[in-house]
Amino acid sequence: MNTDERNPDELAHDLALAFPAGPGELSRLHERLTAAAHRDGVLDVAYRTIDSPVGSLLLAATEQGLIRVAYARENHEAVLQSLADQISPRILHAPRRLEAAARELSEYFAGRRRHFDLPLDLRLSAGFRRTVLSHLPEIGYGHTASYAAVAQLAGHPKAVRAVGTACATNPLPVVVPCHRVVRSDGRMGGYLGGPDAKHTLLSLEAAA
Amino acid sequence: MTGKSPFETVVSAHGATVLRVCRAVLGPADADDAWSETFLSAMKAYPGLSADANVEAWLVTIAHRKAIDVTRAAARRAIPAAEIPDAGDTADRGDLGLDGDLAEALTRLPARQKRAVAYHYLAGLPYTDVAAILGGTADAARRAAADGIARLRRSFPGARVRSER
pLDDT in tens, A135-163: 999 999 999 999 999 999 999 999 999 99
> Does residue B68 fall inside a structural domain?
yes
Tell whether A135 and A184 lie within a shared domain: yes
What was the pLDDT predicted at B1? 53
What was the pLDDT predicted at B80? 56
Q: With CB atoms and an 8 Å threshold, state whether A33 touches B40.
A: yes
| R_g over Cα of chain B | 16
> Does residue B162 fall inside a structural domain?
no
Task: Calculate mean pLDDT across residues A47-75.
Answer: 98
CB B17 within 8 A of CB B63: no
Identify from A1, A3, A9, A15 which residue to disrupt to test chain B contact, counting B C-beta atoms within 10 A and taking the largest count: A15
Tell whether A44 and A18 lie within a shared domain: yes
> Does residue A116 fall inside a structural domain?
no
> Does residue B134 fall inside a structural domain?
yes
Query: Which residues of chain A are within 8 Å of residue B39 when distances are taken between CB atoms?
Result: 29, 33
Domain that holds residue B141: 7-155
Confidence of residue B79 (pLDDT cuts 50, 70, 90): low
Tell whether A52 and A86 lie within a shared domain: yes
Percent of chain B with pLDDT over 70: 79
Query: Which residues of chain A are within 8 Å of residue B15 when distances are taken between CB atoms?
Result: 21, 26, 29-30
Q: To which H or E segment does residue A143 belong? A: none
What was the pLDDT predicted at A1? 41
Tell whether A46 and A81 lie within a shared domain: yes
The CATH number assigned to the domain holding B88 equals: 1.20.140
Tell whether A199 and A136 lie within a shared domain: yes
Flag the least confident range among A31-40, A170-179, B151-160.
B151-160
Tell whether A75 and A156 lie within a shared domain: no
> Does residue A4 fall inside a structural domain?
no
**List of residues 6+ apart from B42 with CB closer than 8 A:** B7, B10, B58, B59, B62
> Does residue B2 fall inside a structural domain?
no
Tell whether A105 and A143 lie within a shared domain: no
Domain that holds residue A134: 127-207
Q: pTM of the prediction? A: 0.87
Over residues B21-76, the pLDDT tens digits come to 999 999 888 999 999 999 999 999 999 999 889 999 999 999 999 999 988 887 88
> Does residue B149 fall inside a structural domain?
yes
B159 touches chain A (CB under 8 A): yes
Tell whether A139 and A82 lie within a shared domain: no
When divided into structural domains, chain A yields a total of 2
Has residue B95 got a pLDDT over 50?
no
CA atoms within 13 A on the CB side of A97: 28
Flag the least confident range among A34-43, A65-74, A126-135, B21-30.
B21-30
Distance (Å, rounded) from C-alpha B7 to C-alpha A32? 15
DSSP alpha helix (H) spans, A52-194: 76-86, 99-109, 127-135, 147-153, 160-168
Task: Calculate mean pLDDT across residues A174-194.
Answer: 93
What was the pLDDT predicted at B11? 98
The CATH number assigned to the domain holding A87 equals: 3.30.160
When divided into structural domains, chain B yields a total of 1
The CATH number assigned to the domain holding A166 equals: 1.10.10.10
> Does residue A184 fall inside a structural domain?
yes
Q: Answer with the one of A81, A109, A137 that is the final residue of a domain.
A: A109
Percent of chain A with pLDDT over 90: 87
What was the pLDDT predicted at A112? 96
Tell whether A134 and A45 lie within a shared domain: no
DSSP strand pairing (A57-61 vs A66-71): antiparallel
A8 touches chain B (CB under 8 A): yes
Over residues A110-133, the pLDDT tens digits come to 999 999 999 999 999 999 999 999
